[in-house]
């Protein structure tokens, strides 16, 4: 039984080239790509052959590739997205499916999404976790093309997380939960059901607080306008990866999202990733992540 790892990362070759040239505020220092305060060790992140070896070791058909979250850089606009997407095109092979990068907070994001969807190269999109306010034009395009849309946590601004590696251990799960809450409470999953959202790291804190979200709706807490779907139904429209490192939490994911919507995701090659893929959870990703080839006009 083979399948797909839906959560892996590579640095696109165009980004590496720009870093060596000192373009886009990037640099290379002591074997790491430097992007502002972020440092990405090149090694396996810059080595597609290493990812292909992982695929072979895990007896998979292939892996779905997105850029590391340090490279989302939503303040860098369309020109940055073009550079990243060109590198992702160069990475795409039958064994490596790539998720496009959108200039999510730029007015051109819907048209970029529509253009990439028609190429037959990209298997969907990977999004970070900035504010999702005002993104209905983007959601409309992703809905029309039924895009697989991986939601990956970005950096949390909470300075209290600087100790004990909590920026990752706690900040990442919080950021994913915040993104999921935004999509649930703004009724994005109810109004744009064609989007096939997939939350990384098992959805972060989402499953643990879902009941609290529904209680807030039921009690008409300030600022809440009840979405069209109960929280439990809304969460059943998400996919999640299985990267939680806890069998009890995996059981909770099955109850919250549906066992058939829990996909295999390793976070390769990062150290907080998994050491192996569960084949039964890898098979469902094949159809979900086939390259898009749908023409759509952004309105």
Tens digits of residue pLDDT in 103-159: 999 999 999 999 999 999 999 999 999 999 999 999 999 999 999 999 999 988 899
Indicate the pLDDT class of residue 2, thresholds 50, 70 and 90.
confident
The dihedral built from the CA positions of residue 133, 204, 98 and 39, taken in this order, carries a sign that is positive
Output the average pLDDT for the chain. 95
Q: Is the pLDDT of residue 214 over 70?
A: yes
- N residues, the chain: 299
pLDDT over 90 (residue 293): no
Q: Is the pLDDT of residue 260 over 90?
A: yes
What is the pLDDT, as a whole number, of residue 33?
95
3-class secondary-structure state, position 38 = strand
Half-sphere exposure of 137 (CA within 13 A, CB side): 17
| pLDDT tier for residue 1 given thresholds of 50, 70 and 90 | low
In b/e form, how buried is each residue of 153-189, taking b as 16+ CB within 10 angstroms?
bbbbeeeebeeeeebbebbbbbbbbbbbbbbbbbebb
Mean pLDDT of the region 91-109: 97
- Confirm if 15 and 71 have CB atoms less than 8 A apart: yes
State the greatest distance between any 2 C-alpha atoms of the chain, in Å, as a whole number: 56
Q: How confident is the model at residue 73 (pLDDT cuts 50, 70, 90)?
A: very high
Q: What are phi and psi of 97, to 5 degrees?
A: -95, 140
Domains of the chain, by residue range, sit at 4-289
Residue 209 CA, distance from chain mean position: 21
Among 88-97, 118-127, 286-295, the range scoring the smallest mean pLDDT is 286-295
Alpha-carbon separation of residue 45 from 7, 20, 121, 171, 252 (angstroms): 13, 15, 21, 22, 32
Q: Determine the 3-state secondary structure of 122 from DSSP.
A: strand
How much is the average pLDDT of 244-266?
A: 97
- pLDDT of res. 273: 95
Q: Give percent above pLDDT 90 in the chain.
A: 94
280 vs 257, residue with greater confidence: 257
Tell me the pLDDT tens digit for each residue of 175-198. 999 999 999 999 999 999 999 999
| Interacting residues of 3 by C-beta distance below 8 A, sequence separation 6+ | 60, 61, 264, 277, 279, 281, 282, 283, 284, 285, 286
pLDDT per position as a tens digit, 28-69: 999 999 998 889 999 999 999 999 999 999 999 999 999 999
pLDDT at residue 37 in the model? 84
Whole-model pTM over 0.85: yes
- Residue 254: CB atoms within 10 Å: 16
Please tell me the distance from the alpha carbon of residue 249 to that of residue 231, in angstroms, as a whole number.
19
The answer on pLDDT for 297 being more than 80 is: no
User: What is the C-alpha to C-alpha distance for residues 171 and 251, in angstroms, rounded to an integer?
Assistant: 23
For residue 98, give both structure tokens. Answer: 């790539």
| pLDDT for 155 | 87
Percent of the chain with pLDDT over 70: 98
In CATH, the number for domain 4-289 is 3.20.20.140
What is the per-residue pLDDT for 119?
94
Predicted confidence (pLDDT) per residue in 200-209, tens digit: 999 999 999 9
The pair of structure tokens assigned to 52 is 């292909």
């Amino acid at each position: 039984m083979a399948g797909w790892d839906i959560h892996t990362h590579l640095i696109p070759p165009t980004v590496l080239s720009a870093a060596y040239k000192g373009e886009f505020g990037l640099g290379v220092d002591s074997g790491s790509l430097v992007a502002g305060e972020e440092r990405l060790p090149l090694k396996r992140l810059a080595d597609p052959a290493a990812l292909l070896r992982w695929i072979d070791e895990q007896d998979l058909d292939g892996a779905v590739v997105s850029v590391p979250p340090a490279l989302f850089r939503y303040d860098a606009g369309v020109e940055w997205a073009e550079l990243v997407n060109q590198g992702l095109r160069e990475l795409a092979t039958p064994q490596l499916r790539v998720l496009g990068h959108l200039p999510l907070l730029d007015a051109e994001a819907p048209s970029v999404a529509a253009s990439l969807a028609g190429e037959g190269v990209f298997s969907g999109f990977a999004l970070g976790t900035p504010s999702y306010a005002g993104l209905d034009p983007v959601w409309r395009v992703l809905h029309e093309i039924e895009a697989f849309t991986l939601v990956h946590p970005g950096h949390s601004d909470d300075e209290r997380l600087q100790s004990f590696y909590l920026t990752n251990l706690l900040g990442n799960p919080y950021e994913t939960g915040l993104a999921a809450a935004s999509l649930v409470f703004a009724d994005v999953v109810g109004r744009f059901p064609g989007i096939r959202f997939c939350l990384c790291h098992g959805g972060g804190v989402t499953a643990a607080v879902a009941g609290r979200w529904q209680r807030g709706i039921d009690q008409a807490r300030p600022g809440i306008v009840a979405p069209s779907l109960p929280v439990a139904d809304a969460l059943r429209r998400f996919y999640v990866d299985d990267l939680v490192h806890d069998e009890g939490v995996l059981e909770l994911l099955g109850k919250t999202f549906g066992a058939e919507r829990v996909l295999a995701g390793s976070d390769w090659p990062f150290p907080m990733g998994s050491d192996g893929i569960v084949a039964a959870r890898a098979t469902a990703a094949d159809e979900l992540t086939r390259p898009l080839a749908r023409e759509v006009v952004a309105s």
